[in-house]
Amino acid sequence: MKTTQLINKLFNDNNFVGNDIFNYEYEGFSFEHNMLLYYSRLAKKTPNKAGYFVTFWRKEDKVNRSFDESDKFDFLIVNIVD
Protein backbone atom coordinates (compact mmCIF):
# COMPACT_ATOMS: atom_id res chain seq x y z
CA MET A 1 0.00 0.00 0.00
CA LYS A 2 1.32 3.40 -1.00
CA THR A 3 -0.11 5.18 1.99
CA THR A 4 1.26 2.77 4.59
CA GLN A 5 4.80 3.54 3.43
CA LEU A 6 4.10 7.28 3.50
CA ILE A 7 2.54 7.21 6.97
CA ASN A 8 5.40 5.09 8.33
CA LYS A 9 7.88 7.74 7.12
CA LEU A 10 5.91 10.62 8.64
CA PHE A 11 4.83 8.87 11.86
CA ASN A 12 7.71 6.47 12.44
CA ASP A 13 6.47 5.37 15.87
CA ASN A 14 2.83 4.79 14.95
CA ASN A 15 0.76 1.91 16.27
CA PHE A 16 -1.20 0.27 13.44
CA VAL A 17 -4.81 -0.28 14.50
CA GLY A 18 -6.33 -1.95 11.45
CA ASN A 19 -7.35 -1.94 7.81
CA ASP A 20 -10.77 -0.66 6.83
CA ILE A 21 -11.99 -3.52 4.65
CA PHE A 22 -14.89 -1.42 3.35
CA ASN A 23 -12.51 1.28 2.10
CA TYR A 24 -9.92 -1.03 0.59
CA GLU A 25 -9.98 0.84 -2.75
CA TYR A 26 -8.88 3.98 -0.89
CA GLU A 27 -6.27 2.12 1.18
CA GLY A 28 -8.27 2.92 4.30
CA PHE A 29 -6.69 2.15 7.64
CA SER A 30 -6.34 3.61 11.12
CA PHE A 31 -3.38 4.07 13.44
CA GLU A 32 -2.45 5.67 16.74
CA HIS A 33 0.32 8.19 17.27
CA ASN A 34 1.02 10.06 20.53
CA MET A 35 -2.27 8.78 21.99
CA LEU A 36 -4.30 10.20 19.05
CA LEU A 37 -6.32 8.09 16.61
CA TYR A 38 -5.94 8.80 12.88
CA TYR A 39 -8.00 7.54 9.93
CA SER A 40 -6.18 7.55 6.61
CA ARG A 41 -7.47 7.38 3.02
CA LEU A 42 -5.81 7.59 -0.41
CA ALA A 43 -7.31 10.11 -2.83
CA LYS A 44 -7.74 8.75 -6.36
CA LYS A 45 -6.95 10.80 -9.45
CA THR A 46 -10.12 11.48 -11.42
CA PRO A 47 -9.91 10.16 -14.99
CA ASN A 48 -11.83 12.90 -16.82
CA LYS A 49 -11.26 16.04 -14.75
CA ALA A 50 -8.27 17.63 -13.07
CA GLY A 51 -8.27 16.68 -9.41
CA TYR A 52 -8.70 13.89 -6.90
CA PHE A 53 -11.57 12.10 -5.17
CA VAL A 54 -11.73 10.50 -1.74
CA THR A 55 -14.48 9.09 0.46
CA PHE A 56 -14.83 8.98 4.24
CA TRP A 57 -17.58 6.75 5.51
CA ARG A 58 -18.19 3.76 7.74
CA LYS A 59 -20.33 0.68 7.32
CA GLU A 60 -23.14 0.21 9.83
CA ASP A 61 -25.80 -2.50 9.50
CA LYS A 62 -24.78 -3.02 5.84
CA VAL A 63 -25.41 0.69 5.08
CA ASN A 64 -22.84 3.40 4.34
CA ARG A 65 -22.89 6.13 7.00
CA SER A 66 -21.07 9.43 7.24
CA PHE A 67 -18.81 9.98 10.21
CA ASP A 68 -20.36 12.06 12.99
CA GLU A 69 -19.45 13.39 16.44
CA SER A 70 -19.97 9.95 18.02
CA ASP A 71 -17.04 8.47 16.04
CA LYS A 72 -13.97 8.32 18.22
CA PHE A 73 -11.05 9.53 16.13
CA ASP A 74 -8.93 12.67 16.24
CA PHE A 75 -7.80 13.24 12.64
CA LEU A 76 -8.67 12.25 9.07
CA ILE A 77 -5.72 12.15 6.67
CA VAL A 78 -6.14 12.45 2.90
CA ASN A 79 -3.08 11.10 1.07
CA ILE A 80 -2.35 12.19 -2.48
CA VAL A 81 0.33 10.19 -4.28
CA ASP A 82 0.99 11.54 -7.76
Domain at 68, CATH number: 3.40.1350.140
Domain that holds residue 50: 2-79
pTM listed for this prediction: 0.82
Residue 74 has pLDDT above 90, yes or no: yes
The structural domain count of the chain equals 1
Q: How sure is the predictor about 57, in pLDDT bands with cuts at 50, 70 and 90?
A: confident
Find out whether 39 and 77 touch, Cβ atoms under 8 Å.
yes
Mean pLDDT of the chain: 88
If one counts every other C-beta atom within 10 angstroms of the C-beta of residue 42, the result is 22
